[in-house]
Structure 1
Amino acid sequence: MILIALLIAFSIERVVHLPAFWQMDFLLARWLDWSQQKLSPGKQQQLDKPVAQAIWLLLPALLAGLLVTLLDNSLVTFIAGIIALLVGISCPDARSAYKNYLKAANKGDHEAVAHYQQQLNLLAGSDASRPINQTVCWLNYQYYVAVMFFYVVFGVFGVLAYAAIRSAELHQSARFNSLPLQRLRWALDFIPVRLAGLGLLIVGHFSRALPVWLSSLTDLRCDQRDVLAAVVDKAEDMPHHPDDKTDAAGAQLKLMKRQQIVWLCVIALMTLSGGLY
C-alpha cells in the first residue's frame, strides 16, 4: 500500500496541475488565519510560547494522523496517504520557475535567467548566491525525497508534519518567532539527507562521493543544503562548460531523480519481503 500510494501520488503530481488548495503553503496559511481569528486576544498572546506554537503548527497533522489511526481501515489509510503525499509534494511554482529558467537560459536571456534563479532560491529558502544546481537539487530533496522518507516511516502524520514545518520555515517564520524552525529543520533533515546521499553513491560516482558522505555522518554543524550539495557534486562526475546555465543543474537533478528511483526499489523490496505494507 505504501509503495502504491507513493507511485500514484508522484504520477498525479507530475501530470496534473494541482490547484492551490492542494499545496501545503496555501493550506497552512488558511489554517493559521482561521484559527487565529477564532482565538480571543488573551489566548492569542499565549501563542508566543514555544509549546503553544508547536501545537498550533502541528495540530492539523496530529488530528489527521489520529483520525487515520482510529479508523484503522486499509482503504482509508491508503486514500489518506495519497492525499497527504499530494499536499506534501505539490510544488507547481518551483516546477514552473525551473521550466521558465531553462527556456530563458536556452534563449540567452540573462535578465530572465537571473529573475527565475532568484525565484527558485526564494522557493528553496536558499541564499541568492547559491548556484542554481544546488538550489534545484535541494528543491527536489525537500519536496520529494524527504516527503517520501517521512511517509514510509511516520505515515500521514509524518508527511503533513514535515510539510508544515517546511512551509512555516519558508513563509511563516514571523508567526513562529518562538520556535527554532531552522534548527528543527536541520534535525529533521539530518537522516534523510544522509539517506539521499547514500542513494547518490549508488547511482553516481561511488569512490569520489564516498569520503564526502562518510564525513557527513559525524558532521553536526554543516548546513544540510551544503551536505547534499557536496555529495551530489562528487557523485555527478561530468565536466560542465562554465558558460552553460543549464548543464550542471540538469545533470545533477537527473542524478537526484535516479537515486529517488533507487529508494522506491528498496521500498518495493521491503514490501515484497513483508517489511512494509
Structure 2
Amino acid sequence: MTLISLLLVLLIERVTTQSKYWQAEFYSNKYLEVIKSKDWLNSSSKSWVLATIICLPVLCTYLLVQQFTGGLIELVLSTAILMVCVGCPVIRATYKCFLQAASRGDMQACSMYEQQIKNNTTDDLSIGQTLIWQNYRHYAAVILWFVALGAAGAVLYILIRELASKLEVDNQQAAAQANRLLNILDWIPVRITALGFLVVGHFSRALPTWLSYLPDPSISAKTLLLNVSKKAEEIEADQKDCTEEPCTLVKLAKRNVMFLLVVIAILSISGWIN
C-alpha cells in the first residue's frame, strides 16, 4: 500500500495543479492561528506544550488511519494525507517562471524569481542549491517518514517543519525547540537522501564527503546535503546560461526521488515494508 500511495501521489502531483486545500501550508496556517488565538505558545511556555501541540494532529491522524487498517479506505485515506504533505506548488510555479524568463533573456525577472525561490533570504546559496534543499524538505524527507510511520509520519515531519519556519518571528524560543526536533527527524533521512546522490551521481567523488559526515551529529542537514550534492554532480560554469546550475541540480534531485522509489519497491516486493 505504501508504494501504491507514493506512485499515485507523485503522478497526480506532476500532472495537476494543487489547490490550497491540497497543500500542507494551508492547514498548518489554520492550526497556527488556533494556537495563537488560544495563546498556547508564548515566551513562558514549557517544552511539553510544544510537544503536545505537535502530538495532537499526529495522534489523530494515526488513530483515524488505524480505524480502516488493511482495506481500500486506508489506502485512499493515506494517499489523500500524503497528497497534502508532499510537494511545494509555489516553488514549482516560481521555478517555471524563472525558466521562462531565462528563455526570454529577461535577467531582471530571473533575479526577481530567484529571490522568491530563496524566500528573500540573505544566505549565499545558489538557486540550484536552494532547490535541492527544498526538494529534500518537501519530497524526500516526507516520503521517507511516510514509509517509516505511514500517514502519521508524514504529518509529524511537515508539522514540525512548518512550525519551525512560522514561529521564527513571533516566538523564537518555540522556533528553536521546533528546529531541534527537526534536526533529530532529519538525521537519518538526510543521510539516506545524500546516499542516493552518490548512487545517481558521481559516486567516487561524493563518497568521502558522505562518509566524513555520516557519524557526525553536529553537522546540519542542509550542510550535509548540499556539500554531498556538490560532489555528486559536476556543474560546468556558464556565465551566459543562468539555468545550467539549477537545471542540473534539479535533475539530480529528480533522479534521487526515482532511486528512492525503486528501493521502496524492492523492499515492498521482498516484504520488508507494507
**1:74 matched to which residue of 2?**
71
Per-residue CA distance 1:181-214 (angstroms, 9 max, x = gap): 2222222112111111111111111110100110
User: Deviation at 1:74?
Assistant: 2.5
Partner of 2:17: 17
> Quick one: structure 1 residues 58 and 94, their matched pair in 2 at CA, closer, same or farther if it must change by over 3 Å?
farther
> Which residue identity does 1:4 align to in structure 2?
I
Name which of 99, 109, 113 aligns with 2:106: 109
Counterpart CA distance in 1 for 2:100 and 2:123 is 20
Distance 1:44 1:155 in 2: 28
Superposed counterparts of 1:124-203, under 5 Å: 127-174=122-169, 176-179=171-174, 180-203=177-200
Answer yes or no: is the 8 Å Cα contact 1:3–1:267 preserved in 2. Answer: yes
Is 1:4 matched up with 2:1?
Answer: no
State the identity %: 35
Q: Structure 2: how far apart are the matches of 1:79 and 1:30?
A: 24
Task: Give the C-alpha shift of residue 227 in structure 1.
Answer: 1.2
Tell me the SS of whatever aligns to 2:234.
Answer: coil
Alignment RMSD (CA, Å): 2.1
SS of the equivalent of 1:178 reads helix
For residues 254 and 77 of structure 1, the distance between their equivalents in structure 2, rounded to whole angstroms, comes to: 33
Question: Could you list the runs of 5+ residues in structure 2 that have no partner in the other structure?
Answer: none
Q: CA deviation at 1:153?
A: 0.2
Aligned mates of 2:48, 2:262 — CA distance in 1: 39
Q: Deviations over 1:193-250 (max 9, x none)?
A: 1111111111111110100110110232233212111111111124231442111111
Give the TM-score, by structure 1 length.
Answer: 0.90
Deviations 1:3-42 (A, max 9, x none): 01000011111111111121111101112323554x4x7x
Give CA deviations for 1:111-147 in whole Å, capped at 9, x if unaligned: 2222111111128xx6442111100111111111111
What is the match of residue 64 of structure 1? 61
Specify every segment of 5 or more residues in structure 1 that has no aligned partner in the other structure, as ranges. Answer: none
Cα distance, 1:58–1:172 mapped onto 2, change above 3 Å? farther
CA gap of 1:181–1:217, structure 2 versus 1, over 3 A, is same
Alignment check: 8 A CA contact 2:42 2:171 kept: no
Does the residue aligned with 1:220 lie in a helix, a strand or coil? Answer: coil
| Structure 1 contact 147–159 (Cα < 8 Å) conserved | yes
Cα deviation digits, residues 18-76 of structure 1 (max 9, x gap): 11121111101112323554x4x7x6769822211221234212211122124434323
Give the TM-score normalised by the residue count of structure 2.
Answer: 0.91
Q: Which amino acid aligns with 1:93?
A: V
Asked if the contact 1:118/1:128 (under 8 Å) is kept, the reply is no
Give the conservation status (yes or no) of the 8 Å contact 1:49–1:178.
no
Instruction: Name segments (4+ residues, structure 1) moved above 4 Å.
Output: 43-47
Range that drifts further, 175-184 or 92-101: 175-184
* Distance 1:173-1:57 versus aligned 2 partners, 3 A rule: farther
- Cα offset, 1:106, TM superposition: 2.5
| Greater mean deviation of Cα atoms: 246-255 or 73-82 | 73-82
Which residue among 224, 233, 237 is the counterpart of 1:236?
233
Measured against aligned partners, the alpha-carbon deviations of 1:128-185 in whole angstroms (never above 9, x if no partner) come to 4211110011111111111110000011111011011111122233455433222222
Letter of the 2:211 counterpart: L
Counterpart amino acid of residue 120 in structure 1: I
Count of residue pairs brought into register by the alignment: 272
Query: 1:255–1:45: structure 2 CA closer, same or farther, 3 Å change rule?
Result: closer
Distance change (3 Å), C-alpha of 1:22 and 1:73: same
